[in-house]
């Protein structure tokens, strides 16, 4: 039995997240269907993470076990030939049998994209949050610094009932602006349900002066979802990188 580590990218607009569901189309369902066809055997893939409906991925990793002897290059070409245009296999490599895409993951990096303009961008309506108000970059950067470090992120979790701990470590939280586009770039050892979207929404509230940058520490300490800001829309969020070693995290 071989174990393949596969990296894909996908546009999440048409899908109800990554993980298979009984009543909605998901990325996992589509990918498993076409991999099974190429390998000529039924397979189940193990993803590195769940993503919400409408969330995208520049890099998503899963592993799949197979009896097929197909070469990794042939796997990439064959599966890409079957997949729809909004999902692409980027790489494939054979790994040890005990590799697990989720449990062996050391950290992740997400980006949140905002189109700041009075006019909408017809080429990015499902790829960036359209935001019509002025964006206070200085205030948002000041606020984002408070997220860096190890904290209890209960205030930034939509549902914490299924996790053993709500403590997470954020390695960096950067805010970049290029023209009309604002990008929030956050790297950490793991993230709670809707955590990135709530942090992004809270920073938007900071930009609108609904929340002060200096309020972030007290919001963290409150461990109360009602103290944080809005949940930003899903279509601005991307899983950007997945890390499987400490060296990767530091790059």
Residue identified by tokens 């948002």 is: 140
Q: What is the pLDDT of residues 54-73, one digit of tens each?
A: 999 999 999 999 999 999 99
DSSP secondary structure, 89-108, as one string:
EEEEEEE-TT--TTTT--EE
Q: What is the pLDDT of residues 206-225, one digit of tens each?
A: 999 999 999 999 999 999 99
The whole-chain average pLDDT of the chain stands at 96
Residue 97 near residue 3 (C-beta atoms within 8 A) = yes
Per DSSP, the three-state class of 204 is: helix
Give the pLDDT confidence score for residue 121 in this predicted structure: 93
Give the H or E element holding residue 32. helix 27-39
Q: What is the pLDDT of residues 152-184, one digit of tens each?
A: 999 999 988 888 999 999 999 999 999 999 999
- Confidence class for position 241, pLDDT limits 50, 70, 90: very high
215 is catalytic: no
d(CA 216, CA 213): 6
Map out the domains of the chain with their CATH numbers: 2-95 (3.30.70.580), 107-249 (3.30.70.660)
DSSP secondary structure, 128-168, as one string:
SEEE-S---HHHHHHHHGGGSEEEE-GGG-S--TT-S--EE
Residues 6+ apart with CB under 8 A from 52: 17, 194, 197, 234, 237
Residue identified by tokens 């899903």 is: 234
Catalytic residue (one of 52, 136, 205, 214):
52
Count, residues in the chain: 251
The DSSP code for 112 is: E
Give the pLDDT confidence score for residue 250 in this predicted structure: 82
Q: What is the pLDDT of residues 85-137, one digit of tens each?
A: 999 999 999 999 999 999 999 999 999 999 999 999 999 999 999 999 999 99
Using left for φ > 0, alpha for ψ between -120 and 50, and beta otherwise, residue 54 falls in left
d(CA 185, CA 239): 10
């Amino acid at each position: 039995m071989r174990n393949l580590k596969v990296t894909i990218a996908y546009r999440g607009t048409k899908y109800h997240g990554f993980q298979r569901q009984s009543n909605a189309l998901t990325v996992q369902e589509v990918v498993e269907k076409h991999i099974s066809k190429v390998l000529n055997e039924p397979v189940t893939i193990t993803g590195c993470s769940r993503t919400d409906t409408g969330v995208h991925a520049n890099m998503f990793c899963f592993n799949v076990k197979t009896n097929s002897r197909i070469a990794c290059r042939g796997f990439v070409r064959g599966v890409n030939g079957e997949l729809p245009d909004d999902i692409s296999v980027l790489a494939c490599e054979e790994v040890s049998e005990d590799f697990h895409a989720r449990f062996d993951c050391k950290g992740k990096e997400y980006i949140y994209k905002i189109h700041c303009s009075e006019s909408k961008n017809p080429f990015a309506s499902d790829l960036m949050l359209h935001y019509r108000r002025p964006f206070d970059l200085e205030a948002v950067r000041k606020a984002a610094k408070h997220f860096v470090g190890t904290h209890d992120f209960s205030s930034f979790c939509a549902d914490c009932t299924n996790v053993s701990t709500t403590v997470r470590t954020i390695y960096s939280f950067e805010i970049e602006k290029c023209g009309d586009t604002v990008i929030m770039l956050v790297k950490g050892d793991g993230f709670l349900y809707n955590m990135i979207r709530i942090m992004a929404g809270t920073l938007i509230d900071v930009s609108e002066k609904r929340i002060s940058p200096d309020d972030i520490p007290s919001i963290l300490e409150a461990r109360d979802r009602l103290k944080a800001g809005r949940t930003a829309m899903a279509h601005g969020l991307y899983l950007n990188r997945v890390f499987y070693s400490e060296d990767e995290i530091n790059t």
